């Protein structure tokens, strides 16, 4: 299946050259992707930890893994999307994305800390 | 564009609802509004640098969580592994919980052309991870692994 019809229908198609010679945009996309990998790894470790406690607890880990996967896909898409606005001089600020990552990570780690504390106290 | 407007309105309403239950001093300290409400767009490179710094903090937090979970899960024959694991997880939580606020404060300062406020978190992180390492070394040396 060809991806070209899908690519052609997007608001900002990929230009023939990169706008910024310091590749800030690309470095930022890679930072998002590294963060997504880290989220997936942390989720997998939590699943490994939670399996010994209660099967339902592993759902937190699975949610985190899926969140990381979604973030990875979004980061690649967003990188392509930003070529146009950056060239047009628009700000790439994205509070929704940072807020979502901040809150989800805080929630996941809060849950992991509570689960680990309970496991230690209950001697599991 | 339309979706973005609807979504930011919904988000604002739910955040306001949540904020109305909290005392005002706490509200002002914990919730920083949307940085786009202030000043003008800075150089896009600054915005991207701020974003990368935020992401580096999130990854640090996830790495600490992975270390903490690893300590609790894998180091079963290591004395005091629970203390180490919970210490790392607590540091991880602090880092994650403050990272968005820090990003928003810096973005706001950049938009208002104000000096960027310094953070105590790198110092706290150094002391925290240093403490965990020293405690791990002492436990390993005097507790004896494999017992």
- How many residues can be counted in chain A? 124
Q: How many CA atoms lie within 13 A of A29 on its CB side?
A: 15
What chain B residue is nearest to A39 in terms of C-alpha separation? Answer: B62
Task: Return the pLDDT at B143.
Answer: 72
In angstroms, the separation between the Cα of residue B59 and the nearest Cα of chain A is 5
Q: What is the distance between the alpha carbons of residues A40 and A61, in angstroms, rounded to a whole number?
A: 9
Given CA atoms A81, A105, A103, B40 in this order, what sign does their dihedral have? negative
Task: Return the pLDDT at A122.
Answer: 86
Mean pLDDT for all residues in chain B: 83
Task: Return the pLDDT at A1.
Answer: 45
Task: Return the pLDDT at B95.
Answer: 95
Task: Return the pLDDT at B20.
Answer: 66
Binary contact (A96, B8; C-beta < 8 A): yes
Percentage above 90 pLDDT, chain A: 61
Q: What is the distance between the alpha carbons of residues A95 and B36, in angstroms, rounded to a whole number?
A: 8
Task: Return the pLDDT at B83.
Answer: 87
**Where do the H-state alpha helices sit in chain A?**
4-8, 24-51, 58-87, 95-122
Per-residue pLDDT of A45-81, as tens digits, reads: 999 999 988 999 999 999 999 999 999 999 999 998 8
Residues of B with CB under 8 A from a CB of A: 4, 7-8, 11, 34-36, 41-42, 44-45, 47-49, 51-52, 54-56, 58-59, 61-63, 65-66, 68-70, 72-73, 82, 85-86, 89-90, 92-93, 96-97, 99-100, 103-104, 107
**How many Å is the Cα radius of gyration of chain B?**
20
Q: What is the distance between the alpha carbons of residues B9 and A123, in angstroms, rounded to a whole number?
A: 46
What chain B residue is nearest to A51 in terms of C-alpha separation? Answer: B73
Which residues of chain A does B34 touch, with a Cβ-Cβ cutoff of 8 Å?
A: 95
pLDDT grade for B124, boundaries at 50, 70 and 90: very high
Taking each helix axis from N to C end, the angle separating B44-74 and A95-122, rounded to the nearest 10 degrees, works out to 10
Q: What is the distance between the alpha carbons of residues B102 and A101, in angstroms, rounded to a whole number?
A: 13
pLDDT grade for B147, boundaries at 50, 70 and 90: very low
Task: Summarize the confidence of residues B96-116 as an average pLDDT.
Answer: 94
Binary contact (B55, A24; C-beta < 8 A): no
Task: Return the pLDDT at A64.
Answer: 97
Task: Return the pLDDT at A40.
Answer: 97
Give yes or no for residue B30 having a pLDDT over 70. no
Q: pTM score > 0.80 for this model?
A: yes
Residue of B73, B79, B85, B91 best to disrupt the A interface, most CBs of A under 10 A: B73
Given CA atoms B119, B122, B125, B126 in this order, what sign does their dihedral have? negative
What are the structural domain ranges in chain B?
A: 37-146
A14 Cβ neighbours under 8 A, 6+ residues apart = A7, A80, A83
Q: What is the distance between the alpha carbons of residues B113 and A119, in angstroms, rounded to a whole number?
A: 48
Task: Return the pLDDT at A13.
Answer: 54
Task: Name the stretches of chain A with pLDDT < 70.
Answer: 1-15
Which residues of chain A does B70 touch, with a Cβ-Cβ cutoff of 8 Å?
A: 45
Per-residue pLDDT of A63-73, as tens digits, reads: 999 999 999 99
Per-residue pLDDT of B69-104, as tens digits, reads: 999 888 877 778 888 999 999 999 999 999 999 999
């Amino acid at each position: 299946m060809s991806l070209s019809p899908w690519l052609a229908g997007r608001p900002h198609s990929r230009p023939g050259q990169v706008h910024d010679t310091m590749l800030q945009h690309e470095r930022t996309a890679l930072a998002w992707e590294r963060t997504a990998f880290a989220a997936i790894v942390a989720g997998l470790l939590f699943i490994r930890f939670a399996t010994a406690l209660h099967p339902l607890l592993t759902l937190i880990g699975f949610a985190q893994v899926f969140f990381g996967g979604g973030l990875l896909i979004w980061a690649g898409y967003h990188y392509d999307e930003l070529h146009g606005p950056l060239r047009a001089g628009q700000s790439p600020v994205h509070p929704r994305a940072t807020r979502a990552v901040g809150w989800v990570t805080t929630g996941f780690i809060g849950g992991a800390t509570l689960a680990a504390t309970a496991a230690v106290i209950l001697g599991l | 564009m339309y979706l973005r407007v609807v979504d930011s309105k919904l988000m604002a309403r739910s955040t306001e609802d949540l904020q109305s239950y909290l005392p005002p001093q706490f509200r002002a300290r914990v919730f920083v509004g949307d940085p786009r409400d202030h000043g003008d767009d800075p150089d896009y490179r600054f915005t991207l640098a701020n974003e990368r710094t935020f992401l580096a903090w999130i990854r640090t937090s996830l790495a600490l969580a992975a270390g903490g979970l690893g300590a609790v899960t894998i180091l079963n024959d290591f004395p005091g592994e629970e203390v180490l694991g919970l210490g790392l997880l607590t540091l991880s939580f602090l880092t994650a919980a403050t990272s968005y606020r820090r990003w928003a404060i810096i973005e706001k300062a950049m938009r208002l052309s104000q000096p960027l406020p310094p953070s105590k978190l790198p110092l706290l992180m150094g002391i925290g991870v240093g403490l965990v390492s020293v405690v791990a070394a002492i436990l390993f040396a005097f507790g004896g692994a494999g017992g």
